[in-house]
Structure 1
Amino acid sequence: MRSPLAAVLGCLLLAVSAQAEEPIKLDVVDGALSKSLTGTPGSADAGQKVFLNRTLGNCLACHQVSSLKSEEFHGEVGPSLDGVAGRYSEAQLRLIVANPKLIFADTVMPAFFRNEGLNRVRPEFVGKSILTAAQVEDVVAFLETLK
């Protein structure tokens, strides 16, 4: 006989699964995402907020950015992002943020706009990406300011 708790948990998992979004498909051409994920340009100011937010992008935990030196806890795992807009095109930056493993197979950077094929995902996050399409575009707009 199943316990009431097991039945409730089973129902919750089914409810979460039912709310899962369709798999995200990226239109990658030549190692880049040339089309905006939203059809509109992102906001660099909003992108900086996502970049710094410890519960969203948390980019500063791994990367250093000199123009953000007043912020605490710059990481050293990823490369410095100073001058990143000069090293990569907007389309390449979009793919790096969305799913960097499509360019750099061995990176530890997470795919911020992927919702399938992930490991150890909490039930409430199944079928969801870390960032929305608009947030990815905002982060790309911010990265474009780092010349």
Structure 2
Amino acid sequence: MKTGSAFFLSGAMALAAVTFAGTANAADTAPNDVAFNEMQVSESLTGMPGDPAAGADAFKNRKLGNCLACHTTTAMESELFHGNVGPDLDGAGSRWTEAQLRAIVVDAKQVFGPDSRMPGFYSLHVGKNVAEKFHGKTILSAQDVENIVAFLVTLKDE
């Protein structure tokens, strides 16, 4: 990892910690009730399909998913500051199923193991040294997760 990338990553993680979503609709699956089965989350968190356009917006929004801090994709090539910590997401919709992508976004540590640098965006297991006001809150809402998953599914191999 380049020094600039490390600085950007630590800044991005700090920003993510400051921007926890923490709100949920009554119909949303609660973070502790998300059912992981063989590294997949088959059921929608909201019971409604995600919006790929809203997912693209959340993907690049530094106050929401901030996925670009760690990932690249040509779908976002006009955006600045793509990271290189995580894999390139071109073809993500061909490599992973919707259920697998949902599991990765909800809590990557349950998919890739505890050493994954990717945070659990819809998990209450936020790690150590988190400000008390963020305890019991998620980084993304359930709908944000569904929207990002809907966007990722569109990233197919040509």
Shorter chain as denominator, the TM-score bin is: 0.7 to 0.9
Deviation of 1:124 (Å): 2.0
Which structure has the larger Rg?
Answer: 1
> Structure 1 length normalisation: TM-score?
0.82
In structure 2, what is the equivalent of residue 90 of structure 1?
A: 98
In structure 2, what is the equivalent of residue 10 of structure 1?
A: none
Deviation of 1:25 (Å): 2.4
Q: Distance in 1 between matches of 2:75 and 2:23?
A: 38
Deviation of 1:123 (Å): 2.2
The one-character-per-residue Cα deviations of 1:29-85 (angstroms, maximum 9, x if unpaired) are: 121000000001010011111111111111001000012111000001000000001
In structure 2, what is the equivalent of residue 27 of structure 1?
A: 35
> Structure 2 length normalisation: TM-score?
0.76
**What runs of 5+ residues in structure 2 fail to find an aligned partner?**
1-21, 25-29
Matches of residues 97-116 of structure 1 in structure 2 within 5 Å?
97-105=105-113, 106-116=115-125
SS of residue in 1 equivalent to 2:33: coil
Identity between Structure 1 and Structure 2 (%): 48
Name segments (4+ residues, structure 1) moved above 4 Å.
19-23
In structure 2, what is the equivalent of residue 120 of structure 1?
A: 129
Q: Is the 8 A contact 2:45 2:143 kept in 1?
A: yes
Pick from 33, 41, 46: which aligns with 2:54?
Answer: 46
Q: Is the 8 A contact 2:31 2:122 kept in 1?
A: no
In structure 1, what is the equivalent of residue 72 of structure 2?
A: 64
Q: Is the 8 A contact 1:20 1:126 kept in 2?
A: no
Q: Distance in 2 between matches of 1:117 and 1:62?
A: 18
Over the aligned positions, Cα root-mean-square deviation in angstroms equals 1.9
Distance 1:23 1:71, change over 3 A: closer
Q: Distance in 2 between matches of 1:129 and 1:20?
A: 8
Deviation of 1:118 (Å): 2.6
1:133 has 2:155 as partner: no
2:153 partner amino acid: E
Q: Is the 8 A contact 1:47 1:135 kept in 2?
A: yes
The one-character-per-residue Cα deviations of 1:93-126 (angstroms, maximum 9, x if unpaired) are: 0000000111101210000001146322122211
Q: Is the 8 A contact 1:64 1:81 kept in 2?
A: yes
SS of residue in 2 equivalent to 1:140: helix
Pick from 129, 143, 154: which aligns with 1:145?
Answer: 154
